[in-house]
Chains A and B, each alone.
Chain A
Amino acid sequence: MFQLILKQIKRHFLFLILVIPLTFYTFNPIVDLRLGEWDYFELEYQLRVIRSSNPILFYLTSQYGTAYAMIGIASYIFGPNENAYFFLNVGLRFLASVSIYLLISWWSKVKVTGIIAALFFLSSAPGLENTLWVIHFHAYASIILFCVSLYFWRSFHNNPSGNLLKESLFCFFAALYISHLRIYALPLIIFAGELYFFVIDIGQTTAKKLKILHFLLLLIIIFIYFVITSTKVTTEVLRLVSPQVLLSSLVNGYPPIIHSFILLNSNTILYYSNIGALINLPLTNIQTALSLLIPIISIPTFIFALIFLTRKKFLIGFAFLPALIYPLTLLLIYSTLNWQNTAVITTLIGGTFLLYLIPLNLIILKINKGYWELFMLGVLILTTHLLLPWAIFPQDENNIQSAFYAVSRYYTVPSMGVGLILGVIFLLSYRSIKKIRYLVLYRSLSFKNIFIPLFIAVPIFIFIPVLINYHLINTRQIIISRVEADDKKSVDYLWKVTKPFFEQVKNKKEEKLVYYEGELTDKEKYVTENILRHKLTQIGFYNPVQINNVIFLNDKDKLRSILLEKNKIFNWDYIFEDFFAIQYTKNDAFDIKQKILEELNL
């Protein structure tokens, strides 16, 4: 067994040596392990569900059921241990990157492609934010299932057999049912893949019936999936943008929603929410940045287009047109891009990358069909996972998935797609550079080694800004903002001043009633009533499933009614030992039990 593990470590040594430090590096230098307000809310809610009469039914029928089940099980096991959730999340993040690496290395038969995809996925800022918001660990579980499902699906098409058919269908169903929340576009990707195989298999006779059966069963599963998910949708139906307005905007060019679509995808390359810091560092303002970046980006694009046109590859040359005119259109309409002008650099770099995918698609198809499949898989993962939830899914808030607000959890799976695209580009660039003849550079620019300039351009345009952004700015900013988040501050302060009241309590298993007063904000009231009881479990009160044994309230009538209802008014033991009254001030807290008892006329 030990030897087997050692063999596997040796086999994937390069991957492990790069990925393990990166998994932990991103959390340097400040590791904040404390849970936030929302984390506590989710944990408490799930504990209540788990204690309810029929939790299984809830998990099977609610819209977020399976994700909730994971949180519920974790909170049942870990209780109030904040570090445990954090390491669970980091562990799943690592496993997700392993599954991406294994899938893509197996598919492309080259390890380096898988390593690059996994590295990009690990270092992406949205993924990082997902990890720091610990309750979102189920997004990583989704990615693992996504990879497993794709592996078996592709295996079946490589070598159709009855066993693989069953495995492929089972994994597809499991991935969809267990984690449809974050991998919405899996049915679409599989369907596109089936269509592709249908076209290239025309004329072939091997296992034709099996493939048709596979396709039909997949369709049935997709149908069941839609029935299940549509019955699960319980929230108020508010779509993000009405289809009618969307179409009008595209046709009229106002508002310039095409740039919003591009921004949506660009966020995976350079994460918009922290981009302000990147602009302030080397450049004084956005316009200067634009005027510097546009020639740097446009001139190579023009040269590429010219090379192909002079070599009579007209379609490829023409395919550079959107990427060529895009920076110029951005410069011209920059002032009207009201809502997204802080994200204009993201849109420029990410958008150019996105539009380069059109000519790259053609070039890679000519070079190697196998890599083209992988490349297209990356493109589909990137675009569909962003556009589908944005355009189709009903929402209960207007802006939650808007292109104008980068919501990190929606970018976790798409960053895997970008990693995959970069992996393929890097591999082909590397292969073409091996063929370079240094002295006759121009002559060596044959069709296959057009990747030489790309090999130079890719690091400049993509890797360098990504590395600067993610590791020097975003990481620090995100972590610092999490550390300084208001909810955590108020939790710390309120817990610090409340803790002394409970430290000397002897009977920690009895029910406690706490009345509090003071000029607290709504958020602080929420923290007092919902989070402090979780904190009490850290100093020996209850076990995690008994947190409702303590009630914090600041309503005197309610206090009186609870005391009357429980017939505790003349139970002096209870009043002296299990009832508390606290007055919060700005810096401290005081005991006001006597005063409250007098006011209640007890």
Chain B
Amino acid sequence: MKLRSAIFFKTILLFMIFITTLLLIRSIKPNVPLLRESFSLCNLGNLESWSILSETKPLFYKSVSLEGDRPFFEIIYPKKSSGSIFSCKTLIPVQKLYEAKTINIELITNQKINFKIGIFRRGGSPPLGKPATVEPSFKDEIRTITFYLDSKEGPKINWLTGDYDEIRFEWSNPNLEENLTIQILNVSLR
């Protein structure tokens, strides 16, 4: 019996040593996960998943989904609004977030705005960097904004707690001279 327990103990220890060594060596040459295809977020063609969160209300907002065409979400704010937040409910699987490097948004706007995006899990959000300045689009030129998921200040591993459920879009511009139109054409992880 004594001999058996000694062998059992030694086997466990050998296994532990082996695993620890393996994990340490693995960290030298990591298998960096990659998202092979971009993962689309937000159902642009479904108006029910969208909502307005701030007190500044838009003139109207709509989802356009025409056959054979790319669906998009359009929101129009009255002039002299200084900023607002709107959101879409969407499932962001934690495994996709783990693999992704950036979150990208393609949009068209008719005025210069500061634009920020946040991903939320039950109302809690990780830091995703500073707001980006978006120039107005001429001839419906599409602007792409990229936010990096991993940063030294808020390392991604710190907030990968589970699936996320919401994306919030925040814009600001204190000097709106005419109605602001924002068209969101694509939101994706890459």
Contacts and interface: CB of A to CB of B under 8 A. Distances in A.
Interface of A: 199, 202-203, 236-242, 244-245, 248-260, 315, 318-319, 321-322, 325-326, 329, 332-333, 338-339, 355, 358, 361-362, 396-399, 402, 404
A248 B20 contact: no
Contact of B121 (A238, A333, A358): A238
B158 A250 contact: no
Contact of B124 (A236, A248, A339): A236
A332 B28 CA distance: 7
Contacts of B68: none
A237 B17 CA distance: 35
A333 B28 CA distance: 6
Contacts of B162: 238-239, 242
B155 A322 contact: no
A336 to B, nearest CB: 8
A318 B21 CA distance: 11
Given A241-B157, A315-B10, A253 B95 contact: no
Contact of A253 (B20, B30, B122): B30
A387 to B, nearest CB: 14
B159 A399 contact: yes
22 contacts: A236-B122, A238-B122, A240-B158, A240-B161, A241-B157, A245-B94, A245-B95, A249-B157, A250-B26, A252-B32, A253-B29, A253-B31, A321-B17, A321-B21, A326-B24, A329-B24, A329-B28, A338-B150, A355-B20, A358-B13, A358-B17, A404-B155
Contacts of A318: 14, 17
Shortest beta-carbon contacts, A-B, top 8 = A253-B30, A254-B30, A253-B26, A256-B27, A339-B155, A252-B31, A322-B20, A253-B27
Given A240-B161, A258-B23, A258-B24, A322 B31 contact: no
B183 to A, nearest CB: 32
A105 to B, nearest CB: 28
A339 B121 CA distance: 23
A290 to B, nearest CB: 15
A251 B161 CA distance: 18
Interface of A is mostly: helix
Choose among A315, A322, A329 the residue with the greatest number of B CB atoms under 10 Å from its CB: A322
B28 A244 contact: no
Given A239-B162, A358-B16, A254 B31 contact: yes
Contacts of B17: 318-319, 321-322, 358
Kindly state the interface size class of chain B when it binds its partner.
35 or more
Contacts, number: 119
Contacts of A203: 1
B24 A245 contact: no
Interface in B102-134: 121-124, 126
A257 B14 CA distance: 22
Contacts of A245: 94-95, 98, 157, 160
Given A236-B123, A254-B27, A255-B155, 9 more contacts: A254-B30, A254-B31, A258-B27, A321-B17, A325-B25, A329-B28, A339-B152, A339-B155, A398-B161
A325 B22 CA distance: 10
Contacts of A249: 98, 157
A394 to B, nearest CB: 10
A337 B155 CA distance: 10
B174 interface: no
A399 B159 CA distance: 7
A315 B1 CA distance: 21
A338 B20 contact: no
A241 B161 CA distance: 4
Contacts of B123: 236
A255 B31 CA distance: 9
Nearest to B24: A329
A398 B29 CA distance: 28
A253 B161 contact: no
A258 B10 CA distance: 23
A332 B94 CA distance: 29
A329 B126 CA distance: 30
A260 B27 CA distance: 11
B149 to A, nearest CB: 12
A534 B113 CA distance: 46
